[in-house]
Amino acid sequence: MANSNEIDDVLNVLVVGSGGREHALCWALAKSRRVGDLYCAPGNGGIANVARRVNLNANDTDGILLMCRDVNIDFVVVGPEAPLVDGLVDRLDAAGVAAFGPSAAAAQLEGSKGFTKDLCDRYDIPTAAYGRFDNESDAKSYVQKQGAPIVVKADGLAAGKGVTIAQTVKEASIAIDKIFDGQFGDAGHEVVIEEFLHGEEASFFALVDGEHILELETAQDHKAVGDGDTGPNTGGMGAYSPAPVMNTDLRARVMAEIIRPTVEGMAKDGAPYKGVLYAGLMITDDGPKLIEYNVRFGDPECQVLMTRLDSDLLPLLMASQDGTLDKVSATWKTEVALSVVMASKGYPGPYEKGTLIRNIDAANKVDQVTVFHAGTALEGGKIRATGGRVLNVTALGTTVAEAQKRAYGAVDQIKWPSGFCRRDIGWRAIEREEAESA
């Protein structure tokens, strides 16, 4: 593969995944002067505008390996966590294909909550106090001893559904039963029980190459389905970047107390981390604490990060893969980006599939707005909804309030009777802006 310093070469790039995150990654990579042919497997109804779609599932490792050989892929960008935890990057590596993302061993940072808690314990990384249990009765006696509120988590990947914030010991007990009853399959062989942390949540992103760290930007998302952050949790109903709570001092603390010890610890433990490290943080009265790591870009956080990124994305991702992150830097727009997720009515519960969406073009024409697709399919020139989270209407603005106004202006152009969105994405940041200007 070409060295990232040889800027004259163009590379054939494959993005793996099908969500709004992957649309945003393809959109950013399509602008790169270093990208030759850009492919996405499997992609979605919007990605065809920026990349060639390949009919391969993100978990079809053998298919992806064959495709890389057949069309001479030089670099693979893996979007979602599941193929990373399953070792896609290890397989590509063994086949001589350079890929962005962690090895299976390093992806344990997301693949096992217990793994990450033990790492925090070993390297003094601030996080909620916890216990790890492989049976119900020990888990329940720990809960009895600690009292509520308390947080119960399935150890493994559970698509964001494995976490219960229990307000009572009884609720915690029910959550423990559910996990050991097999509700989360393999993810539920073990449970992590944590102290409930109070504070404001924020997300912090960094690129890592095993040794060097390139700090990216911050974001905040809205996980709950309903306005005012009410109702069940989802994959994320909207996000904005930067996170106003993350001032310079806090960012420096996060790097020094959380990110750097993690990267050094992983290297010391023989599983050097490469890829994007996404820290979910709680900003408590005692400072920042790690809630969890993800080993991929957030969705929809990626959409707001890519909208703000001014640098060419490809050399940054390549530097993470080839160990030269100390030689690159990233520049960002000073504007705020905000993304509103439009979802199928019923989500995160059951919803109708195949409903028709019209007028996305008009939304895309709104000044400073980009509509990323998630669960959509293009059929006979028409866009239909195929998933829970369907569109990410993303806008830039000089303030969060301005970005929000633009995003909802574009949302209102879209004609989709079977869809809905939250109407208050960014509310906390806007309150802060209003308080600061008062």
**Given the rule CB under 6 A, which residues bind ligand GLY?**
221, 235-236, 294, 298-299, 301
Q: State which of positions 266-295 bind ligand AMP (CB under 6 A).
A: 280, 291-292
Q: Pick from ligand AMP, ligand GLY, none: which does 210 bind, CB < 5 to 8 A by kind?
A: none
Q: Which amino acid, 95? A: A
Question: Is residue 190 a contact point for ligand AMP (CB under 6 A)?
Answer: no
Q: Residue 397 Cβ, how far from ligand AMP at the closest point, in Å? A: 25
Interface with ligand AMP, residue 87, by CB under 6 A? no
Contact 254, 218 (CB under 8 A): no
Q: Under the criterion CB under 6 A, does residue 299 sit at the interface with ligand AMP? A: no
Inter-residue contact 147 to 190 (CB < 8 Å) = no
Q: How far apart are CA 233 and CA 325, in angstroms?
A: 35
Q: Torsion angle of alpha carbons 409, 204, 34, 4, nearest 10°?
A: 170
Asked whether the beta carbons of 193 and 235 are under 8 A apart, the reply is no
Closest listed residue to residue 420, CA positions, set 231, 270, 147, 278: 231
Q: Using CB under 6 A, pick the residue from 201, 257, 264, 322 that binds ligand AMP.
A: 201
Kindly state whether residue 231 participates in binding ligand AMP, applying the rule CB under 6 A.
Answer: no
The count of residues interacting with ligand AMP (CB under 6 A) is: 15
Structural tokens at position 64: 């992806």
- Alpha-carbon gap, residue 135 to 137, rounded angstroms: 6
Write out the two tokens for 414. 């879209």
Choose between 119 and 276: whose C-beta lies nearer to ligand GLY: 276
Query: Could you say whether residue 258 binds ligand AMP (CB under 6 A)?
Result: no
Does residue number 194 form part of the binding site for ligand AMP (CB under 6 A)?
yes
Of ligand AMP, ligand GLY, none, which one sits near residue 388, judging by CB under 5 to 8 A according to partner kind? Answer: none
Q: Where are the beta strands (DSSP E) in 66-182?
A: 75-78, 98-100, 130-133, 150-154, 163-166
Under rule CB under 6 A, residue 196 binds ligand AMP: yes
**Residue tagged 């509310």 (tokens):** 427
Which positions from 44 to 73 touch ligand AMP by CB under 6 A, shown as an x/- string?
A: ------------------------------
Nearest to 214 by CA among 109, 332, 75, 303: 332
Which of ligand AMP, ligand GLY, none lies near 128, with the C-beta cut-off 5 to 8 A by kind?
ligand AMP
The alpha carbons of the chain give a radius of gyration, in whole angstroms, of: 21
Q: How many CB atoms lie within 10 A of CB 181?
A: 10
Out of 67, 163, 396, 414, the only residue in the binding site for ligand AMP (CB under 6 A) is 163
Question: DSSP label at 260?
Answer: H
Residue 201, contacted partner among ligand GLY, ligand AMP, none, CB below 5-8 A by kind:
ligand AMP
> Can residue 197 be called a binding residue for ligand AMP (CB under 6 A)?
yes
Helices (H) and strands (E) in the chain, counts: 15, 23
**Nearest residue (CB) to ligand AMP, 194 versus 301:** 194
- Beta-carbon contacts of 174 under 8 Å, excluding residues fewer than 6 positions away, are none
Position 151 contacts ligand AMP (CB under 6 A): yes
Nearest residue to ligand GLY by CB is: 236
Give dist(CA 75, CA 315) in Å, integer: 11
3-state secondary structure of 177: helix
SS3 130: strand
Return the one option of ligand GLY, ligand AMP, none that residue 221 interacts with (CB less than 5 to 8 A, by type).
Answer: ligand GLY
Q: Which does 236 bind (CB under 5 to 8 A by kind): ligand GLY, ligand AMP, none?
A: ligand GLY
Choose between 67 and 202: whose C-beta lies nearer to ligand AMP. 202
Closer Cβ to ligand GLY, 233 or 355, answer by number = 233
Considering CB distances under 5 to 8 angstroms, the limit depending on partner class, which of ligand AMP, ligand GLY, none binds residue 194? Answer: ligand AMP
Residues that bind ligand AMP (CB under 6 A): 128, 151, 153, 160, 163, 165, 194-197, 201, 223, 280, 291-292
